[in-house]
Structure 1
Amino acid sequence: MSSCNNSIPQPLIFVLAGIPGLASSYGWFSVAFFLVFVMTVIGNVTIISIIRVQMSLHEPMFLLLAMQSVVDLSVVSVTVPRMLGIFWMNAKEIGFNACLMQMFFVSFFYVMESGILVTMAFDRFVAIWKPLSYTAILANNMLVKIALAVLARAVAVLTPAPILAKRLESFQTHTIAYSYCAYMAVVEIACGDVSNHIVYGLMVTVLSVGFDLFFTILSYGLILHTAFWIPTWEARGKALSTCGSHFCVIALFYSPVVISFLVHSLGYHMVPHVQIFIDNLYFLVPPMVNPLIYGVRTKQLWEQVLQILHCLED
């Protein structure tokens, strides 16, 4: 329950606070965020282009990587321009309906990426468990079905968010203490009984991130178990090396969520601007770093990148 002595009706416009307490550093933040945005676009467009052009890369692992790159581009497209608007032009106002749209798509793409990551973990398990049947099990029609299932889940679990938020009638303030519209950030400033919103937020977390993290850990447990029975150390190391890039991406993607969860569970209270900064990392760092990890650690992609650079030099 949250009660308000001086509540305001549902506003036509919300004000995004940016990163409270760090307004004097917005110039530096804007440079960092802009560079992250540019590197993310260049890296992911390069990955998508290479996979699209090279027929030899039209296999499950790389097609899933292309899907991930599309989602990464979508994530930064719905978050970073708004943040840069705040830092550069003090453009903090956002319409109520526009806020609901951003709220939906930010969470939608995050849940999509989480679903793709667990699918990639399953892909690596199949590659080690049944290497000879790998392409048959994960044929193109199966990948399409998996992609549609990931998409359908994201739509199903997140469509209620803007509908529920639209029903909030009064608020403590029209200022959202974030640099983007997030569902729980809007709920936190609402008046009245918001228990159903909190339950819904927990359900989304469990049915998406919690579910995916559990099955990702399970997949890697099975991968280690399967690899243990490979007779030679050389073959075992080669099999596990194919999982290295994906494991790094998983650790990077879930670490901020796990850290934030543990901090709250242990009763610690972060300084607000630190909490908001960590929340921004959810949507900034993985999309930028993922192409670098895959490009460096995946031989086929690295060879194509080197070929492109060589052509540019000529």
Structure 2
Amino acid sequence: MDLTNHTTVSEFVIAGFPSLQKNRIPVFVLVLTIYLLTVTGNMIIVFITRYEISLRTPMYFFLGNFSLLEICFTSVTVPTILVDLIRENNIVSFTNCLVQIYFFHALGGIECLLLAAMAYDRYVAIRSPLRYNIIMSSVVYGQLAAWSWATGLVLPLIPVILISQLNYCGTNVVDHFFCDILPLLRLVCNRTQLNEMLSFFICTFILVGSFTLTVVSYAAILITVMSIRSTDGRKKAFSTFASHLTVVCIFYGTMMFIYVRPTRNLSFNMDQIVAVFYCLVTPLLNPIIYSLRNKEVKEALKKVFCRKRVELK
């Protein structure tokens, strides 16, 4: 597809964070540190769930997929932030901008669907522990993961293709720290109602649909947790449940604030602040809350490290 035939703009300038330019070095170090910690933490989860036999269960299969997804998701946006902090003009080509939009929304959609699948897995484990292995067979959880990835990868194609056909004129400055649909539509010369409504519908379908399934699953889990007679058992279960729910609320809350609203009149400065949470904060919290605080994961890590030490000797 020859994109240059449909636009008078061949490249975009990412506005980034102009107010942080005076402190760009410490901010760069902070963002880079968060990014490296996020990638390292999630890589540990991917490795340990793949190679430790004791963790080859549906729950850790989903966690391994989720951690791999987080590595890819953060790598779509964070490098752009880092480049913006060390260069005054962060210029991206029209094609690269569209590629970033596609992968950002595709990976974000997959994350929503995987969160719903993970919540359903925990619901089955707590509500039907005796039938858990039958309900969540390798075929079932494999299909859930495959459908999550396939659906997330397919749905953003149509909005991105339509955006590529629009005419861009005037300023080429994207008022964001990465290429996204709504900031890009602000630069379009012609009418964009169809693109906005389509993007709104797809985001609503994925976000609200997966959020509803997740909330229903967690509500059922909460009812089960509250019925536990042991105070210590209920406190322990509720602690894990609350931490998981916190990550889910942060992720869905920030996403819905930006994408599930039928208006473009709100401040994009606020969008940038909110976007930082789901691009930097939640990917850092996920491996800590979902896996590294887990006793089974800790034990598996000890086994792997001990095994490696023995092999080295």
Aligned pairs for 1:293-308 within 5 A: 293-306=289-302
Aligned pairs for 1:1-314 within 5 A: 9-90=7-88, 92-230=90-228, 233=231, 236=234, 240=238, 243-258=241-256, 270=267, 272-306=268-302
153-162 or 244-253, which moves further after superposition? 244-253
| Partner secondary structure for residue 12 of structure 2 | strand
CA shift at 1:188, angstroms? 1.6
Conservation of the 8 A alpha-carbon contact between 1:245 and 1:298: no
| Partner secondary structure for residue 42 of structure 1 | helix
| Partner secondary structure for residue 13 of structure 2 | strand
Tell me how far apart the structure 1 counterparts of residues 34 and 203 of structure 2 sit (CA, whole Å): 27
1:10–1:161 distance in 2 versus 1, CA, 3 Å: farther
Tell me how far apart the structure 1 counterparts of residues 138 and 239 of structure 2 sit (CA, whole Å): 24
Unpaired segments of 5 or more residues in structure 2?
Answer: 1-5
Conservation of the 8 A alpha-carbon contact between 2:113 and 2:206: yes
CA shift at 1:302, angstroms? 2.2
Unpaired segments of 5 or more residues in structure 1?
Answer: 1-7
Offset from partner CA, 1:163-182 (integer Å, 9 cap, x none): 01111113341110111110
Conservation of the 8 A alpha-carbon contact between 2:200 and 2:259: no
Conservation of the 8 A alpha-carbon contact between 1:295 and 1:305: no
155-164 or 69-78, which moves further after superposition? 155-164
Conservation of the 8 A alpha-carbon contact between 2:207 and 2:256: no
Tell me how far apart the structure 1 counterparts of residues 173 and 52 of structure 2 sit (CA, whole Å): 48
Offset from partner CA, 1:169-207 (integer Å, 9 cap, x none): 133411101111101111122122111111012112211
CA shift at 1:301, angstroms? 1.0
Tell me how far apart the structure 2 counterparts of residues 145 and 86 of structure 1 sit (CA, whole Å): 39
Identity rate, percent: 26
TM-score (norm 2): 0.87
Tell me how far apart the structure 1 counterparts of residues 238 and 140 of structure 2 sit (CA, whole Å): 24
Tell me how far apart the structure 2 counterparts of residues 273 and 202 of structure 1 sit (CA, whole Å): 20
Conservation of the 8 A alpha-carbon contact between 2:52 and 2:304: no
| Partner secondary structure for residue 18 of structure 2 | coil
Tell me how far apart the structure 2 counterparts of residues 175 and 215 of structure 1 sit (CA, whole Å): 38
Pairwise CA RMSD: 2.8
Query: Which one scores higher on RCO, CA 8 angstroms, separation ≥ 6?
Result: 1
CA shift at 1:92, angstroms? 0.8
Conservation of the 8 A alpha-carbon contact between 2:204 and 2:259: no
Conservation of the 8 A alpha-carbon contact between 1:124 and 1:242: no
Tell me how far apart the structure 2 counterparts of residues 18 and 102 of structure 1 sit (CA, whole Å): 15
CA shift at 1:307, angstroms? 5.4
Conservation of the 8 A alpha-carbon contact between 2:126 and 2:221: yes
Aligned length: 304
Conservation of the 8 A alpha-carbon contact between 1:19 and 1:177: no
TM-score (norm 1): 0.86
Tell me how far apart the structure 2 counterparts of residues 278 and 238 of structure 1 sit (CA, whole Å): 31
Tell me how far apart the structure 2 counterparts of residues 230 and 280 of structure 1 sit (CA, whole Å): 38
| Partner secondary structure for residue 168 of structure 1 | coil
